[in-house]
Amino acid sequence: MFAADGLPVSRELTKVPNSKKALRLGELARERGRHAELHPRLFDAFWARGLDLGDDDVLVAEAEAAGLDAAEAREVLASERYADVVARETDAALDAGAGGVPAWVVDERLLIPGAQPEEVFERVLEKIGY
């Protein structure tokens, strides 16, 4: 399916990592204005390069490549910093009806379940006035 859509996929994917640390790191990136740089790097690291997103060294390398401070990234990974934000966002997605990945909560009120064509997102955004 990946190849048919022209998407990269690693043959090295052997396990699904616990993504909580990556999500917390994402919140650091959001706070530092680097989320747009980190988010695609994490997807590429896992899907295209088959890296373990549960590994602190992998996460720190990706954070640094996205312009974040390595020491601060390690501090986040070694602590529970941003765990409350991740838990709150997870609860909101589940409350909205998300039952799997991906699931998109738009404007904190609409749920788009699963991988959808671009046209679905365009219609939703148009409907809510974006």
pLDDT tens digit string along 81-114? 999 999 998 888 888 788 777 788 888 778 888 7
Rounded CA-CA distance 108/19 in Å is 22
Percent of the chain with pLDDT over 70: 96
In degrees, to the nearest 5, what angle opens at C-alpha 93 toward C-alphas 91 and 95? 65
Helix or strand run (H / E) with residue 112: strand 110-113
pTM over 0.85: no
Please report the pLDDT score of residue 1 as a whole number: 67
With 80 as the cut, is the pLDDT of residue 42 above it? yes
Encoding tokens for residue 108? Answer: 């904190």
Predicted confidence at residue 108, as pLDDT, reads: 78
Give phi and psi for 103, each to the nearest 5.
-145, 135
Which pLDDT score, from 0 to 100, does residue 18 have? 85
Average pLDDT along the chain: 89
Neighbours of 46 (CB within 10 A): 22
Domain boundaries, the chain: 1-95, 98-130
> How confident is the model over 11-32, as pLDDT tens digits?
777 777 888 999 999 999 999 9
Cα distance between residue 21 and residue 76, in whole Å: 8
Task: Compute the C-alpha angle 26/32/35, nearest 5°.
Answer: 40
User: Burial, 118: exposed, middle or buried (Cβ in 10 Å; 0-12, 13-18, 19+)?
Assistant: exposed
Give me the CATH topology for the region 1-95: Glutaredoxin (3.40.30)
